[in-house]
Structure 1
Amino acid sequence: MKSPIQLTEKAKLEIKSTLQANKIPDTYGLRVGLKGGACSGTFVLGFDTATEFDQTYLIEGVKVLIDKRHLMYVIGVSVDYEEGANGSGYTVSSAEKK
C-alpha cells in the first residue's frame, strides 16, 4: 500500500528519538490529522493510540495513524522537522495541486 504522506529524514529521526527518549510504548504512533473544517482546517500532529476510525501505516519504521475521515485531506502532505532561530518543531506542508 502506497504511503499517503511523506516523512523527511529529519522528521523520521526526530520522531524515533522522541519515542525512545520519552519511553513511549509501541502501541503509540504519530497521528496526522485535521482540526477544524476540511477547507479551513489546520494540520495536527501528535503521538496517540489507534482508534476504530484510524488507518495505520508503517512508513519507513514509523507508525502513522490517520483518521479515515481525514485521509482524503492529508494525502500528499509532507512532515518535516526544522530547527531555526525561533525554535524547532514539526512542519506540515501539502503538495501543491496543479
Structure 2
Amino acid sequence: MKISLTESAAEHIKRQLAGRGRGLGIRLGVRTSGCSGMAYVLEFVDEVRAEDKVFEAFGASVFIDPKSLVYLDGTELDFVKEGLNEGLKFNNPNVSAECGCGESFTV
C-alpha cells in the first residue's frame, strides 16, 4: 500500500508545521460524513501511534491508520492553487463518485 506526495504538497506541509512551531507531519484519514458517504480528515501529528503507517517524501511525513489506508491506497496528495483558492488535493484512484461540492466521496 502506498501514499505519495508531490513536492508542492510536501512544501506546504512543512510550511504549516513551521508556522505551528511543532509537529512530526500530518495525519490523513477518512470518516463517515457528507452526502457521498466518506470525507477526508487532516490533523497535525505530534505523537506517533503504534498502528500508524508512515509515508515520507521531500522531507514531509504523512501518517495513516490502517483502517483509512484501505480507502486511501494509491492516493497522491498535491497542493494546488486555483484562482483565489489553494489547498491540498487528493488524487484518490479508489473514488467512484464525489458529491457536487467535493467535500465527500464514495469508494
Do they superpose with TM above 0.5? Answer: yes
For the 8 Å contact 2:14–2:60, the answer to whether it is kept is yes
Tell me if 1:32 matches 2:9: no
- The aligned residue for residue 92 of structure 2 is 94
The separation in 2 between residues aligned to 1:21 and 1:65, in whole angstroms, is: 19
Q: TM-score, normalised by structure 2?
A: 0.70
Aligned length: 92
In structure 2, how many angstroms separate the alpha carbons of the residues matched to 1:11 and 1:30?
Answer: 11
Match of 1:42? Answer: 39
1:89 deviation in Å? 1.1
Displacement of 1:55 in angstroms is 1.9
TM-score normalized by structure 1? 0.75
Task: Kindly provide the amino acid, as one letter, of the partner of residue 15 in structure 1.
Answer: I
- Provide structure 2 residue ranges, at least 5 long, that are not aligned to the other structure: 96-107
3-state SS, counterpart of residue 9 of structure 2: helix
* Residues 58-95 of structure 1: per-residue CA shift (max 9 Å, x gap): 33322211011111111111111111224211111212
Q: Identical aligned pairs, as a percentage?
A: 26
RMSD: 2.3
Instruction: Quote the Cα distance in structure 2 between the aligned partners of 1:65 and 1:12.
Output: 13
Q: Is the 8 A contact 2:29 2:40 kept in 1?
A: yes
